[in-house]
Chains A and B, each alone.
Chain A
């Protein structure tokens, strides 16, 4: 027995790998025939190899539970997801355009707020924003860029069109898993990399390093760059350590840093050493107990002073999260037109704002067909998937929306695309997935080749977050013209 492509059924969704039963899309053709040539035992041995590799490489993520934090092996599906390089170039252009506009918006918000004066963005949205930081008003980070690292969540609909689902502008994670997924797949399916023009992904750490180095306030040959982590118990600690290692910079916790006369130093075995750029992976509110939460021990007292004085660069800049809000998201197409004078290349998912009475009425009347999300949550928490919810859950959610309408948006339940995943028994079944490319902006703009594909491993589920049973697979941008 081999993998049975003819009887694999995508269930009416857009399938990333096949166009109709038994017919692979161009970038997936070699992959499909290679997989079809393997018998059950070989497939199983590849799957095991992936599992062993993950364990051996120590690729883990942390799950919080009542019994403490558990380090789980990274859930991984060995069958890659493929996208044609030509199509990817369009997506890439759209992502760059979007981040440029978002950064113009954040900079505008912390300066003159022209977009509000122009009547394009409503002041009320800002007034109730949880991520607006008045402490950042008037600060001008290098290149006018606040969000240097952005993780944009993309989904595809039943016709295969890409939509932007979310812009993650605070401390997006996942890029290390993207890199590790590739490392695992190279070990598991090496024969495909020999004959296939699969574009490499591994220049991300170098690009990230260049982006960070360009932010240094001191123009020195070797600026002091650090990755600031909340510590080993953070769910993304693996990634923090991974990126520090790949970039060859120090991984620090708050207690390793000290601010003296508005300059930041790290404590080393030789004494204090100057820090120029901080890639922070902790939230705004924990950055500096002098300014934000006074009882936080994760941050560094005086850090905000040093940043405001221009003595240290912080990426992403404090306050960048003001644009990471699902209500603000709804205005991104207008931002693109306003700031760049361009038409948006990547569409938003249609979004209803519950703050607007008319739209709210529509949402409440159609809860059974919509997905409702809180404006400021991440990780897939606190949302309602209407068609999958019970009547009671919907009623409870309606109350929450009415109590705090500004905090909720609704979107149609998308027919998210699927791709075949290897399930128990060595069979292929369709699973929903999304894609998180990472976009860098500093002196230059850069988009990862592909991104992190997250898969809802449970049958029929639309939730791809790893904290909630999601897995992932390698993402191949295949240059079909290079063959």
Chain B
């Protein structure tokens, strides 16, 4: 496989995952904010922080309100992480690799792209927002399903998996961090309502993980249980561990994978067990931050090994 094609497929995988994650985040925030008690200092702007997009947001908007945040994340074509931009990048990358995926994949991507572009106004207002996000998530799943059903498990597939799981691990870590910071910042309100349960319930919800969590952990939703599950569960497809293992699988199969193996072990070497509420303090945030840095380093190793032309 051409290096340049591998790179585009990898990015198509990342952007497709990012598109879905953005829709998931907005969908869950809609619901979270309705459940929270008044006076709590949790706002839509958290989504900007979660995506480390404070600077590019500030360049475009002054007011950190729902309208601007949603606009920035959904439809802003100048924002490199907006849903619009992500969908466009999926399409552009797949367009240049049309010789790899089946025509049906391309058709679905096109449909999704036009849906995202033409219906994005629905996502602005609260009334239709849920439906819009659903449509995007469903469209992404359709694309993933079509790809899974019609793509050979050769190098193309492995690069798509690499992109998908690296992006996903990164997002799961960000969502965990957001959960932790929410509770740290509203410590004085803890106890007023069962705030922990609301926040961590939504953390699970943003990853469609409620059911898997309950079946696996068999306990009520609590910070430590959720965090430990999303970090270390080997079976649910959005946990950090699961993502890491899929990345490892892909790297094992690809030629010259040995060059990346070491960095993968570095990522696996950090382990954090969450047993009590105390474990979710600053050390937890530091740990999650470290995971993100190591994911970024892994990405660089992947790029150097397979994409570098020269």
Binding site for B on A (CB under 8 A): 55-58, 232, 241-242, 244-245, 248-253, 255-256, 266-271
Residue in A closest to B92 when the chains form the complex, CB atoms: A232
A57 to B256: give the CA distance in the assembly, Å. Answer: 36
Contact B306 A269 (CB under 8 A): yes
Contact B110 A255 (CB under 8 A): no
Selecting from B60-68, B98-106, B235-243, the interface stretch reads B98-106
Selecting from B3-11, B120-128, B136-144, B184-192, the interface stretch reads B3-11
Residues of B within 8 A of A56 (CB): 107, 110-111
A271 to B259: give the CA distance in the assembly, Å. Answer: 14
Query: Helix, strand, loop or mixed for chain A's interface?
Result: mixed
**Which residue of A232, A249, A267 is within 8 Å of B309 (Cβ)?**
A267
**Interface residue? B2 (CB, 8 A):** yes
**Which residue of B92, B98, B306, B309 is within 8 Å of A255 (Cβ)?**
B309
**Interface residue? B114 (CB, 8 A):** yes
Contact A57 B107 (CB under 8 A): yes
A251 to B99: give the CA distance in the assembly, Å. Answer: 7
**Which residue of A55, A255, A269 is within 8 Å of B255 (Cβ)?**
A269
User: Mask for B147-172, Cβ within 8 A of A = 1, else 0?
Assistant: 00000000100000000000000000
Contact A252 B309 (CB under 8 A): no
Binding site for A on B (CB under 8 A): 1-6, 92, 95-96, 98-100, 103, 106-107, 110-111, 114, 155, 254-256, 306, 309
A253 to B5: give the CA distance in the assembly, Å. Answer: 10
- Chain A CB within 10 Å, residue with most, of B95, B99, B306: B99
- Knowing A268-B2, A269-B155, A269-B255, say if A250 contacts B306 (CB, 8 Å): no
Contact B110 A55 (CB under 8 A): yes
Contact B3 A267 (CB under 8 A): yes
Contact B3 A269 (CB under 8 A): yes
Besides the known contacts A57-B107, A252-B4, A267-B3, 7 further A-B residue pairs in the complex with CB atoms under 8 A apart: A248-B99, A255-B4, A256-B2, A256-B309, A269-B3, A269-B255, A269-B306
A270 to B95: give the CA distance in the assembly, Å. Answer: 23
Contact A57 B2 (CB under 8 A): no
> Least Cβ distance of B137 to chain A in Å?
20
- Knowing A241-B99, A245-B99, A270-B255, say if A252 contacts B107 (CB, 8 Å): no
A251 to B97: give the CA distance in the assembly, Å. Answer: 8
Contact B96 A232 (CB under 8 A): yes
Residues of A within 8 A of B3 (CB): 256, 267-269
Contact A256 B103 (CB under 8 A): no
**Which residue of B99, B103, B114 is within 8 Å of A55 (Cβ)?**
B114
**Which residue of A245, A268, A270 is within 8 Å of B98 (Cβ)?**
A245
A241 to B106: give the CA distance in the assembly, Å. Answer: 12
Contact B2 A242 (CB under 8 A): no
> Least Cβ distance of A206 to chain B in Å?
15
